[in-house]
């Protein structure tokens, strides 16, 4: 069974850093790009970042570029989202999603259950 399990969500103060982890299982990790998508309370879904199978192609939404870093580790079949300079606007559920393609193509299947990040003073 294909599974994506997110962890690392927490209550953080503005300006602090946090790392989210997505643990993948049940599929060939090297054959798929992986993304992070978030949903803030009462808001719609927002694509945050994506990384290709070999980390050769990476993309970010403008609102996080320069603050967030996506990376992946084949040995542990994990994808990370390093989040720096957290702001109130980063409060959201963060979902790890698998791309149907090895490269960043933007069709998401499946999705993880999400991890909650709350940024509050």
Residues in contact with another protein by the rule CB under 8 A:
35, 44-47, 50, 59-62, 95, 100, 104-114
Instruction: Give the nearer residue to another protein in terms of CB position, either 12 or 104.
Output: 104
Nearest distance, CB of residue 14 and another protein, angstroms: 24
Nearest distance, CB of residue 40 and another protein, angstroms: 12
Instruction: Give the nearer residue to another protein in terms of CB position, either 80 or 95.
Output: 95
- According to DSSP, the residues that pair with 80 across neighbouring strands are 21, 71
Whether residue 114 contacts residue 45, with contact meaning beta carbons closer than 8 Å, is answered with no
Nearest distance, CB of residue 85 and another protein, angstroms: 19
Whether residue 1 contacts residue 109, with contact meaning beta carbons closer than 8 Å, is answered with no
The tokens for 99 are: 């791309």
Q: Is 25 exposed, middle or buried (0-12, 13-18, 19+ CB in 10 A)?
A: exposed
Instruction: Give the nearer residue to another protein in terms of CB position, either 35 or 72.
Output: 35
CA-wise closest residue to 114 among 22, 19, 18, 31: 22
Instruction: Give the nearer residue to another protein in terms of CB position, either 45 or 88.
Output: 45
Nearest distance, CB of residue 113 and another protein, angstroms: 5
């Amino acid at each position: 069974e294909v599974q994506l399990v997110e962890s690392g969500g927490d209550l953080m103060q503005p300006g602090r850093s946090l790392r989210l982890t997505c643990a993948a299982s049940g599929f060939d990790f090297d054959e798929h790009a992986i993304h992070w998508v978030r949903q803030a309370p009462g808001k719609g879904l927002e694509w945050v970042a994506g990384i290709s199978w070999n980390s050769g192609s990476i993309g970010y939404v403008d609102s996080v570029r320069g603050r967030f870093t996506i990376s992946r580790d084949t040995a542990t079949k994990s994808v990370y989202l390093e989040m720096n300079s957290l702001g109130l606007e980063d409060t959201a559920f963060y979902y790890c999603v698998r791309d149907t393609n090895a490269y960043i193509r933007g069709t998401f299947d499946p999705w993880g259950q999400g991890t909650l990040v709350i940024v509050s003073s």
